[in-house]
Amino acid sequence: MTWKCAVVDIPYGGAKGGVNCNPREMSPGEIERLMRAYTLAMMDIFGADKDIPAPDMGTGPREMAWLMDEYSRTRGMTVNAVVTGKPIVLGGSLGRTEATGRGVMVTAMAAMGKLKINPYNATCAIQGFGNVGMWAARLLEERGLKVVAISDLSGAYYNENGIDIGKAVSYRDGNTGSLDKYKEAEKINGPDILTLPVDVLVPAATEDVINSSNAKKIQAKLIVEGANGPTSSKADNIIFEKGISVVPDILANAGGVTVSYFEWVQNRLGYKWTAERVNRRSDRIMKDAFDNVYKTSIEYSVPMRIAAYMVAIDKVAKTYKYRGGF
């Protein structure tokens, strides 16, 4: 998270925290009690000027509302800015829900421009149909790409003529949140979605799905990492040797933390931005970050992942240098 924030040049540090549990097996009441207990345990860490949590796997606006409420109770006043990803009515930002997927779209389009891939002739496969994958699919489809494959825990679904993402979302939402038995596409083995002959591959599920056992089989020209750490270190070298371009996770999925930052700014200002303003500013930040990383990769003849870390580490190192110490 530190490097991700540095890449997109927002004034946050970063960490990850959570609870080892399976929310799918828990009742809403159990999840609420867990969130409130977690908030109390982290009370000395959290704060609008200290550590500002945001939703990740297994959590969403509902859980962030509970976190904000529990923190606010201990302070005797409402503290909206202690957490981001909240419901709109509680100080959440317009555009936050789709922000990570939108950032994937923006960086994918920027990379396609560099690689001379025409979006109107391009095909795309998206692993993971949760918040990030679904929004990436929707937004890439809007910009002309043919999404030929999607997947979730129930398996992968392929249609060479393209999948109507709107229909797929409606089916999933009406089917207890799963694509199981989706009839508009052929069901294939889940891992096979990664090796389909497509122009753009978006792994937006979990970590290490691209590894040394399947990296040689990947046929995509461009990989845009919607998930955190979807490519193992061993696979990275194989992908690079194959000449496949990769927009790394700390750049590609930084749209979420960018709009989280916008939400925090709005809470501190006490003024809500329009969705248009949020999208315009986040798109500009993501595009500028991509251009900076791409320029560095060309200048030093390194993959974009290395270039992203070079940009991020250089920024953090400079802050330590200027702050000094004794």
Q: List, by residue number, the catalytic residues.
A: 16
Cα separation, 35 vs 29, in Å, equals 10
Q: Is 316 exposed, middle or buried (0-12, 13-18, 19+ CB in 10 A)?
A: middle
C-alpha to C-alpha distances, 161 to 48, 123, 266, 301, nearest whole angstrom:
48, 10, 43, 37
Read off the DSSP letter of residue 143.
T
Cα separation, 243 vs 264, in Å, equals 40
End-to-end CA gap in the chain: 27
Read off the DSSP letter of residue 210.
B
Cα separation, 288 vs 44, in Å, equals 35
Phi, psi of 9 (to 5 degrees): 60, 50
C-alpha to C-alpha distances, 228 to 80, 93, 231, 248, nearest whole angstrom:
27, 23, 9, 9
CA dihedral 216, 219, 222, 223 (to 10 degrees): -60
Phi, psi of 164 (to 5 degrees): -75, 105
**Six token digits for residue 156:** 């992968």
Phi, psi of 157 (to 5 degrees): -130, 125
